[in-house]
Chains A and B, each alone.
Chain A
Amino acid sequence: MPSDEYLQGIYYIQGRDFVDAGIVSSEIKKSLKDKGIPESIIRRVAVITFEAEVNMISYSEQGTIQLFIEPDAITIQADDIGQGIEDIELAQQEGYSTADDSIRELGFGAGMGLANIKKYSDIFEITSNPGDGAHLKSVVKL
């Protein structure tokens, strides 16, 4: 994780709070817009944070997204407390999903999220202790 001096914000996410799903990603995008960061970079960060946020709401009890802005990179660190991920390889495969109806009603649950985060990240790391939660780090280079 980058040092605290680059921490731009910490956003709290409540599991199963489906109504507001995506609000954190919208807030993060707003905050990046007045910083002179190129639009194409902001779009990538917005997609990455949206997918991470919806996953936390869908599959965890609660979590945080931390946003770091360094001169040469933006880092998104998403940590949650919850069921975690049993098989990380499998979870990253396009199409694999354990989403229930409440998630599908939102328009999510196609098993595209982690693959999408990976695609738009320059560096992508995901770890999990099943039963404890999941930890995801994504770096977008400037």
Chain B
Amino acid sequence: MKLSEIRDILDAKVIVGEDKLDLEITTAFGADLMSDVLAFARSGCLLITGLSNPQSVRTAYALDIAAILVCRGKSLTDKFVEISQELNIPILWTRYIMFEVCGMLYKEGLTGCVTQIQDSEDKQIA
């Protein structure tokens, strides 16, 4: 679905990336722990997180994550917004809690960028 649809479903504000609302996103990963995002997320997904600090943007940048959705109405610092602009990562912001966000998006067809964590040693970050 388009980033603009995600915005509408979640009643979200577009903080960065007004020009990127046509971006197609099909998968997502939800976590507050960037250690786990770096270990398990995939490129091109939507990162759903309550961590609104520079490290979540830098994590998204490292993995070529398509966009970040900040949930739970977490406050955003100027620095967070600045780095998102610099690294060209769209930011959406919603007051819904993570569970609600995941449920609403899943219902509309978004799926996990991985479904289960496997033991296998896959070296590609697809």
Chain A residues with a Cβ under 8 A of chain B: 19-23, 25-26, 29, 39-40, 43-44, 46-47, 50-51, 54, 106-113, 115-116, 119-120, 122
- Given the known interface contacts A23-B58, A108-B35, A119-B123, the answer about A47 and B63 at a Cβ–Cβ threshold of 8 Å is yes
B54 partner residues in chain A, CB cutoff 8 A: 19-22
- Closest A residue to B42 using CB positions: A43
**Cβ-defined contact, A108 with B39, below 8 A:** no
- Taking Cβ atoms with an 8 Å cutoff, the residues of B that contact A are 32-39, 43, 51, 53-56, 58-59, 61-64, 79, 87, 121, 123-126
**A46/B33 in contact, CB under 8 A:** no
Of the candidates A40, A43, A107, A113, which one forms a contact with B62 in the assembled complex, judged by CB atoms under 8 Å apart?
A43
Inter-chain contacts of B58 with A (CB < 8 A):
21-23, 25-26, 50
Contacts of B63 in A (CB 8 A): 43, 46-47
Residues of B contacting A: mostly: helix
**Given the complex, which residues of A lie within 8 Å of B124, measured CB to CB?**
40
The 3 closest A-B pairs by CB, nearest first: A22-B58, A110-B35, A107-B34
Scoring B43, B62, B124 by chain A CB atoms within 10 A of each residue's CB, the highest score goes to B62
Given A22-B58, A107-B56, verify A116-B43 contact (CB < 8 Å): no
